[in-house]
Amino acid sequence: MHNNEREFSTEEYLNMDLLRFTTAGSVDDGKSTLIGRLLHDTKSIFEDQLDAVEKASKKMGDHQVNLALLTDGLRAEREQGITIDVAYRYFATPKRKFIIADTPGHIQYTRNMVTGASTANLAIVLVDARHGVVEQTCRHAFIASLLQIKHLVICVNKMDLVDYKEEVFTEIKADFDDFSSKLEIQDIRYIPISALKGDNVVDKSVNMPWYNGPTFLYTLENVHIASDHNFVDCRFPVQRVIRPQSDEFHDFRGYAGRIEGGIFKPGDEVLALPSGFTSKIKSIETMDGKLDEAFSPMSVVMTLEDEIDISRGDMIVKPNNQPEIGQDIELMICWLNPKKMIPGGKYGIRHTTQEAKCIVKDIRYKVDINTLHKIEDDLSLGLNEIGRIHIRTTKPFFYDSYKKNRGTGSIILIDENTNETVGAGMII
């Protein structure tokens, strides 16, 4: 890998882009091997970590160094040899910094994958070349699609075990193409690899001259993600009002928040929700100076020309492009708690910087995540199940469909007794 020979360059480092991706897979599909190889070949594993993992592997009676132990750091995970929770791993190449949300394949799998996918730009699904597209492949891809991940990479792994045959790869690709027509992901890529032998992971494989596409790492480094944010629909949920009340900033009144969509500039006419008052942006402030424009996902402070009543939970938008406003919301929900969702039940709800209560008015249907069929006769939503529901909130929300904007289209439900996060919702 080029990293090893290169000198470290701070200039490159500061220009690096950030790609968040999620990996999903079952126990033996080689996911750990693939991630281990990426980390290893990009010099992201340190000697003391490797030593510790080697020792731990021996103690557990493994013949090989088990790279999963790098982040399966919890005692319970080590004892049982399983991953309980999403593990976050970090590595960088001169082009990009990567955050991997590595989600376990078995226990709590939907819950973990949904969590990992919620912040990802890209999803990786591993397919064992010997077994082809199986139920789990479809499940993973469906969740990636539901969470509106824009890029999906299907790694057909263990090509070494099928003699690197092109037909195997082509057949799997055709199979998956068939299934993926039901999904909403535009960008799907296929790469034949052997994570164990290193074919097409970092370096181009000499064993598969029939494959002319890019390697796995090259793909990660070059997928175009600059347009993944919404730069059209201006949304600024207010987190906090900043009033320094100091001599220097005596009359300063600013609205702190993160831009969830669009591009804001001083002079822009804006509208505050829910009040409906309009004003103009006076300035966009940061400690490092005023900005000529601000866009998603920047955290800034906005000041307006007029004094209008705005507080946490309100949203600053443009008068000619407003979000939906309402208390009756339809959404797809993934249930995250062992205690089933109660039809007619009341839950706490968080959306952008808003907090309220809601009542589950109706469970419309449940999705069989293996076949994507709708289930309409059993409407109880339990742990790891996904369905469409209708909720009514105690106050109006300002929202967009999740498809249009992840930030203003997502909610979580909270159990009011235990305070646990029990549901993850995507507004339709």
Partner 1 sequence: MYKYHLSHLSQLENEAIFIMREVAAQFEKPVLLFSGGKDSIVMVRLAQKAFWPAKIPFPLMHIDTGHNFEETIEFRDNLVKELGVELIVASVQESIDTGRAVEEKGPNPSRNMLQTITLLDAIAKYKFDAAFGGGRRDEEKARAKERFFSHRDEFGQWDPKNQRPELWNLFNGKKHIGEQFRIFPLSNWTEMDVWQYIATENIPIPNIYYTHMRDVVKRDGVYLAQSPFITLLDGEQVEKKQVRFRTIGDMTCTGAVVSNATKIEDIILEVAAARETERGTRADDKRSEAAMEDRKKEGYF
Question: For residues 109-148, which are near partner 1 according to CB under 8 A?
Answer: 111-112, 114-115, 118-119
The interface with partner 1 within residues 309-368 (CB under 8 A) comprises: 312, 336, 348, 350-351, 353
C-beta separation of 75 from 60 below 8 A: no
52 binds partner 1, rule: CB under 8 A: yes
Distance in angstroms (rounded) separating the CA atoms of residues 120 and 264: 25
Q: Which of 290, 321, 320, 319 is nearest to 303 (CA)?
A: 290
Q: Of these, 1, 74, 161, 196, which contacts partner 1 (CB under 8 A)?
A: 74
Count of chain residues binding partner 1 (CB under 8 A): 82
Piece in contact with partner 1 (CB under 8 A), picked from 25-33, 65-73, 154-162, 203-211: 65-73
The interface with partner 1 within residues 393-422 (CB under 8 A) comprises: 406-407, 410-412, 414, 419-421
Measure CA of the first residue to CA of the last residue in the chain; give whole Å: 44
CB of 168 or CB of 291, closer to partner 1: 291
Q: Of these, 209, 249, 327, 394, which contacts partner 1 (CB under 8 A)?
A: 249
168 binds partner 1, rule: CB under 8 A: no
The interface with partner 1 within residues 212-231 (CB under 8 A) comprises: 226-227, 229, 231
CB of 131 or CB of 243, closer to partner 1: 243
Distance in angstroms (rounded) separating the CA atoms of residues 194 and 200: 7
Q: At its nearest, how many Å lie between partner 1 and the CB of residue 407?
A: 7
Piece in contact with partner 1 (CB under 8 A), picked from 138-146, 210-218, 251-259, 382-390: 251-259
The residues near 349 (Cβ < 8 Å, ≥ 6 apart) are: 355, 356, 357, 358, 391, 393, 411, 412, 413, 414
CB of 232 or CB of 375, closer to partner 1: 232
Q: At its nearest, how many Å lie between partner 1 and the CB of residue 133?
A: 28
CB of 38 or CB of 129, closer to partner 1: 38
C-beta separation of 264 from 257 below 8 A: no
39 binds partner 1, rule: CB under 8 A: no
Residue that has been written with the tokens 């309100």 in this structure:
314
Q: At its nearest, how many Å lie between partner 1 and the CB of residue 322?
A: 22
CB of 52 or CB of 359, closer to partner 1: 52
Q: Of these, 22, 23, 32, 71, which contacts partner 1 (CB under 8 A)?
A: 71
Residue that has been written with the tokens 């076949």 in this structure:
371
Q: Can you spell out the DSSP letters for 249-305? A: TTT--EEEEE--BSEE-TT-EEEEETT--EEEEEEEEETTEEES-EETT-EEEEEES
Q: At its nearest, how many Å lie between partner 1 and the CB of residue 102?
A: 10
Piece in contact with partner 1 (CB under 8 A), picked from 257-265, 269-277, 365-373, 386-394: 257-265
Q: At its nearest, how many Å lie between partner 1 and the CB of residue 170?
A: 34
The interface with partner 1 within residues 269-288 (CB under 8 A) comprises: 285-288
The interface with partner 1 within residues 287-316 (CB under 8 A) comprises: 287-288, 295, 297-299, 301, 312
Q: At its nearest, how many Å lie between partner 1 and the CB of residue 320?
A: 20
17 binds partner 1, rule: CB under 8 A: yes
Q: Which of 197, 252, 224, 261 is nearest to 404 (CA)?
A: 261
Distance in angstroms (rounded) separating the CA atoms of residues 245 and 260: 28
Distance in angstroms (rounded) separating the CA atoms of residues 113 and 23: 8
Piece in contact with partner 1 (CB under 8 A), picked from 5-13, 177-185, 211-219, 393-401: 5-13
C-beta separation of 422 from 346 below 8 A: no
Q: Exposed (0-12), middle (13-18) or buried (19+): which is 408, by Cβ within 10 Å?
A: buried
Q: Exposed (0-12), middle (13-18) or buried (19+): which is 316, by Cβ within 10 Å?
A: buried
156 binds partner 1, rule: CB under 8 A: no
234 binds partner 1, rule: CB under 8 A: no
Half-sphere exposure of 124 (CA within 13 A, CB side): 32
Distance in angstroms (rounded) separating the CA atoms of residues 60 and 44: 24
167 binds partner 1, rule: CB under 8 A: no
Q: Which of 83, 80, 45 is nearest to 65 (CA)?
A: 45
Residue 66 identity: N
In which order are the strands placed within the sheet that holds 87-92?
87-92, 96-103, 17-24, 122-128, 151-157, 187-192
Q: Of these, 4, 8, 251, 377, which contacts partner 1 (CB under 8 A)?
A: 8
Strand 269-273 vs strand 278-286: parallel, antiparallel, or unpaired? antiparallel
Piece in contact with partner 1 (CB under 8 A), picked from 25-33, 77-85, 209-217, 382-390: 77-85
